[in-house]
Every structure is written in structure tokens, then in C-alpha cells.
Structure 1
């Protein structure tokens, strides 16, 4: 005969298994928008007549992801998220097939745009985790799934680089299709259906995101803080390869890709950040995270010729940025439980806009001011995040996730 304690333990094991599955869904799907970055030289060799346009491939993938977040992610409030995930996986496999068989750069560019749009499956997985978890475990649940997302982002370049080197760039897209089909089989067997929380028509669903941003001060604050921190994060990662390619390092792109493994420490810290957010409140963790991110750029400024210093800085930066994102998302999901997908969309669109700004600043600052200039720009972004965070105010207990 079961007891309340045994039932509770079984429930915890079931939730842990579902969160691990959602983390895998997030990581495997988001990795698709980063696979092409270490393969650009291979694309150039395959399509020499279009070599000057190779950079369009990752650009269109990123634009596609932004469009997918805006146009597809809000559907999670209107329809069963399990069904949406499976439909997007099926369409993503078709887009990957076109990319793997692309006879020209133009076909690869169109396929890359579609890949970016459809890889937003991760933006269904994160609010799904918030829905499945009780309020007292929401931060931990979001942190677990976000750890999978960050691992996908950080390790995608490393995996694509190795597979592309030994099997060719087309095999990278083929391998992703196989991984997604295997994942779909597990989803069909294990993932439950979600409960739609909105009956709004599609147009009104999209329009309601503006009203949510106006209505929810906490959403605006978290989005701006997240955008500034991700700007600093993207600034660093978009210039690291340039630093490593020059004196005194003279390393190739593979070594820069291996820094993604070092950065995976941040993904490992995500569930811990979520647990602390549940216990201490998300604002306290965001304050600590901003401090860590700022400290990392001080380390970077002093480590322009030190590999060990760069490694330490990467770990501190990734832990800080990841912990802040987990805490901010745990916080915003409690603001409007019936609109989690739309709230997440507002946050993530701002987040990626910040990332694009950071990459642009890196491209401008590096040739003019070098690594010290990059480090100062990163510090300024973290200062902007800190000022915005200090201007905010804690939400009432009911909005913080303690009760609902």
C-alpha cells in the first residue's frame, strides 16, 4: 500500500524525468541554430562562386530564430505544447534535409532561415517546465531545462566542428535529423499534454504581448536586465576567436570552439541557481549574478595574454549570465501564469536583441580598441544591467512564485 511519502517521492521522480526530457528537447533543438558557425569555411569551399555571401547563412538563421520566437512561441498558450513540439520537430527535420542536400548557397540560406524559425522548440520547453512544477520548485525546474538549453548553445559549435572535420558539413545536418527523430519517439512515449490557457485568436494572441509588456513592470525590468547581460555575453563570445587567433596565442577556430566546453560550467550551475532563487528570491540571485558578470570582465581585461585567466573569466561569466537568466525567468513566469508562453516571448525577444547589439558593439570596438576596449564595453553593459535592476522593486509574495 502506498503512503503519502512514497507518493511524493514517486511524483518527484516523475517530475525529474520530465524536466530532464524537456532539458534535452531544449538543448537538441537550439543547437541547430549554431551548427553552421564553425562550418562557414566548408560552405565557402563547397560554393566558391558565392564565397562573399557565406556570412548570410548564420545571419539568416539568427533572424529566423527571432521571427520564430515572435510568431510561434506564443502559440504555447493557445495549443497543447506537446503537439506543437512534435509538429516543429517534423518541420525542422524537413528544413535540415534541404540544408544537407543544398545544391547552392541560396538554397542553404533559405533552409537556414527555416531552421532558425523552427528551432524555437526550446521556447515551448521552458514555459512547459514552469507549468509542470509546483510554485516552490519553479526556479529549479526552469534552471534544469535552461541548463540543457545552454549546453546546446555552447556545445553545438564544438560538435559541429568535429563532425564537419571528419564527415563533412552535410553530415552535421544529417546527424541532427537522426537525433531529432529519436527525440520525437521519446516525446511521444513520455511527455504529457499541456493545458492551453488562452482562447485568443492568433492575431490577438500576438497583440496581447504588447499589453503584457505595458502591464507588467517586473517583465520590463527583467527583460532589460537580461538584454544587457546577454549583450555582454555575446560581446565576449563574438570577439574571443579574434583574440585567440592573434599573438601570443595563434589558435585556430577549434580551440575557440573548445572554450564552449569550459563555458558549460555555467549550464551545470543553472539548477543550483534555480534552487537558490526558490529559497532566497530571484532578485537577490540577479544582484549576485550581475556582480559576477562584471567581475568576469575585470578578469578578461587583465588576461589578454593569459589562457588561464580567460578560462577563469569564461566560467565566471557563464555562471553569472546563466544564473541571472534562470532567476529572471522564474520571476516572470509567476507574474501571469496563464500567459507564460507570451511572457517568455517578450523576455526572450528582448534577450536576443541585446545579444545582437552586443555582437555589433564587439565588431565595432575590437578593431579600434582591441581586447581592453572589449572588456570595458562588457563592464558598461553589466553596469547598465545593474542600474536597471536597482531601479526595480520586488514583486509582492504572490508574484514571486511562492504562492499562486
Structure 2
């Protein structure tokens, strides 16, 4: 499909489904609105390879980094906004506000983005099949999908369990204060364009290795969060910087493989990424139930160390081939 039309259409549908949630009078309708919103909120994953295609090769890392910065800022600031707005006007208010903002984004994309249509002459089932075939035959996307899934599982586990920690003793924070912690993650958003510029200079593998190592090293600080908010906030900032740099590096690695296949490669990478993200919250809930914050920290540290291990194995395989 023509990409501007697809992006705008997805955003418009998301706005409508947010209105369903905002006006829901039952739990079933709220759940339906949430599920439909999740289904269409992938517009960002259409825009990212769209931007990569429009960018000059020497600026691709910076451009992807800029778009991903917006994506991360939206995710982090949404937590703060949701907590504050819900405290002031009730839980429905954030859905009404979000529907308006998403609709505005659709109008702006329609106004300012150029049309871009690069059909391959394949049916949709054939495109899905070619994506799976590419994923099966190309080892690099598989490595990066595994790294992305593990890192985002750790990310979503962290942000899920933080609510458990901060609303209970010894903190007892209000929901607005918990949401404000998302501001600590802005450092990650600011680091993403830097990672993109380093990728443009041919240092994408160094960025990947350092980010994966920092991802793992952040967890001892996070684990100390039961003692003081200072190491907790420092660990959250370090983790968010590392996780976003790692994702940006992974995208730049696979975008360089086959320019004509960026959308399919991105779909494979982000499918694995979000599957990992979906696994994080239930794993965090189990860890919290059975072992408290120590269990959550052990879970996050293990997932992050596994991501680092995959990167090391990827580099070792690349040297031998």
C-alpha cells in the first residue's frame, strides 16, 4: 500500500478506537477498545522504515534516531501524562485527549509527508512468506530480533514492576508521582540520535556492544531501589539509554542489509521486539509475587545478560564467516 495513506489510515483508526475506550460503559467494551487500539497503533512502525527510505544513506542513522526519539518520548511522557491527567480529571480524560492528539497527527502526516509507493508485485500472503523466508535464511535479522525481544522484555518488566515497588512500602507514591518517573527515561530519548549518528560513522557494532553491556550493568543499581530512590533513578536512566541505543543500532544493522526489503525486515524485527515486550509484564508479575523486587531485578538482569550474550555470539559468528 502507498505508505502515507497507510500511516494516516492507521492513525485515524487508532483515534476512533481510543474514543471507544473513552466512552466504554463496561469492562468488555474497554477491553475491546484497548485491543483494537493496539492493533492499529503500529503506525509508528510504518513511519520508521518510511523515514529510512526517504533519508540519504549517510544520514539514515540520524533520521531513524530522530523518529525513534519521538517514539520513545511519546511512550515515556504518556506515563507521566496519564498519571497526572487521570488524577485531575479521571481515567477517561486521557483517552479523550489521546484520541484528539492522534487525529491531529494523522492530519499533519497527510499534510506534510510525500506519497511513497514501492510495490513489489507480490500478494500479501506472498509478502508474508518472503518475510519468513528472509528471516530463515538471513542470520543477522534473527540475532537482532532475539536481542530486541530480550531487551524489550526487560524494559517492559522494569516499568511494570516499578508500579508495584513505588506504590507500596516504603515509598507509597501516588499514581501521578509514579508516572513522573517516566521523565527519568528522557535521557534515553536524548541518547538515541547520538547512537544514530555513530551508526552513520560506521560504529554501529560498537554501539551495540556497549549498549548491551550497560543494559546488564544497570540492574545492580535498579536492585538497590528498595534502599533509596537515588540508585533506582540512576539505574532506570542508564537502562533506558542502553535499551534505546541497542534498538537503534539493531534497526540500522538490518536496514543496511537490503534497502528494497526494509519494511519486511522491520516487521520481523519489531514483531519479535513486541513479543518480548508482551512477555515482560507477566514475567515481572510472577517474579514480584514470588520474590519481590529482588526477583524482578534478577529477571531483568538475566534477560539483559542474555541479550549481551546474543550480541557476543553474533560477532563471533560474523568473524568466522
The normalised TM-score by structure 1 is 0.75
Aligned to 2:71: 149
Counterpart among 124, 147, 162 of residue 202 in structure 1: 124
Aligned residues: 318
Aligned to 1:82: 4
CA distance in structure 2 between the aligned counterparts of 1:80 and 1:181, rounded to whole angstroms: 19
Q: Is the 8 A contact 2:207 2:246 kept in 1?
A: yes
SS at match of 1:392: helix
CA distance in structure 2 between the aligned counterparts of 1:93 and 1:113, rounded to whole angstroms: 13
CA RMSD of aligned residues (A): 1.8
Counterpart among 215, 231, 234 of residue 309 in structure 1: 231
Deviation of 1:135 after TM superposition, in Å, equals 1.5
Aligned to 1:350: 272
Deviation of 1:197 after TM superposition, in Å, equals 4.1
- Give deviations 1:78-105, integer Å, cap 9, x for gaps: x211010111122222222222222322
CA distance in structure 1 between the aligned counterparts of 2:86 and 2:221, rounded to whole angstroms: 33
- Give deviations 1:269-311, integer Å, cap 9, x for gaps: 1101111122142111010001111111011123321111111
Q: Against the structure 1 CA distance between its residues 380 and 338, is the aligned structure 2 distance closer, same or farther, given a 3 Å change threshold?
A: same
SS at match of 2:263: helix
Aligned to 1:104: 26
Aligned to 1:186: 108
Aligned to 1:133: 55
1:392 and 2:298 equivalent?
no
1:363 and 2:290 equivalent?
no
| Map 1:268-307 → 2, pairs under 5 A | 268-307=190-229
**More displaced stretch, 187-196 vs 159-168:** 159-168
Deviation of 1:217 after TM superposition, in Å, equals 0.9
Q: Against the structure 1 CA distance between its residues 358 and 91, is the aligned structure 2 distance closer, same or farther, given a 3 Å change threshold?
A: closer
Aligned to 1:221: 143
**More displaced stretch, 117-126 vs 177-186:** 177-186
Q: Which has the larger radius of gyration?
A: 1
Aligned to 1:318: 240
1:93 and 2:15 equivalent?
yes
1:247 and 2:247 equivalent?
no
1:373 and 2:257 equivalent?
no
CA distance in structure 2 between the aligned counterparts of 1:379 and 1:272, rounded to whole angstroms: 25
Q: Is the 8 A contact 1:216 1:335 kept in 2?
A: no
- Give deviations 1:8-60, integer Å, cap 9, x for gaps: xxxxxxxxxxxxxxxxxxxxxxxxxxxxxxxxxxxxxxxxxxxxxxxxxxxxx
Deviation of 1:254 after TM superposition, in Å, equals 2.0
The normalised TM-score by structure 2 is 0.94
| Map 1:52-63 → 2, pairs under 5 A | none
Q: Is the 8 A contact 2:83 2:178 kept in 1?
A: no
Q: Is the 8 A contact 2:84 2:179 kept in 1?
A: no
Q: Against the structure 1 CA distance between its residues 137 and 220, is the aligned structure 2 distance closer, same or farther, given a 3 Å change threshold?
A: same
| Structure 1 unmatched ranges of 5 or more | 1-78, 397-404
Aligned to 1:52: none
